[in-house]
Amino acid sequence: MTDTLAEKTCTPCRGGVPPLTRDEAQRFQAQAPDWELGDDAHRIQRSFRCRNFGDALALVQEIGELAETEGHHPDISFGWGYVTVSLSTKKIKGLHENDFIMASKIDRVFDRSGRPLDRQR
Is residue 96 situated within a structural domain? yes
Domain that holds residue 100: 36-113
Give 66-117 pLDDT, tens digit per residue. Answer: 999 999 999 999 999 999 999 999 999 999 999 999 999 999 887 776 554 4
How do residues 36-58 score in pLDDT, each as one tens digit? 999 999 999 999 888 899 989 99
The answer to whether position 101 is within a domain reads yes
8 Å CB contact between 47 and 83:
yes
In a domain? residue 93: yes
The pTM assigned to this predicted structure is 0.85
Q: Can you give the CATH number for the domain in which 100 is found?
A: 3.30.1360.20
Count: domains in the chain: 1
98 within some domain: yes
Assigned domain for 74 exists: yes
Predicted confidence at residue 113, as pLDDT, reads 61
C-alpha distances out from residue 56 to 16, 27, 73, 115, Å: 36, 30, 18, 11
DSSP assignment of 18-87: PPPPHHHHHHHHTTSTTSEEETTTTEEEEEEE-SSHHHHHHHHHHHHHHHHHHT---EEEEETTEEEEEE
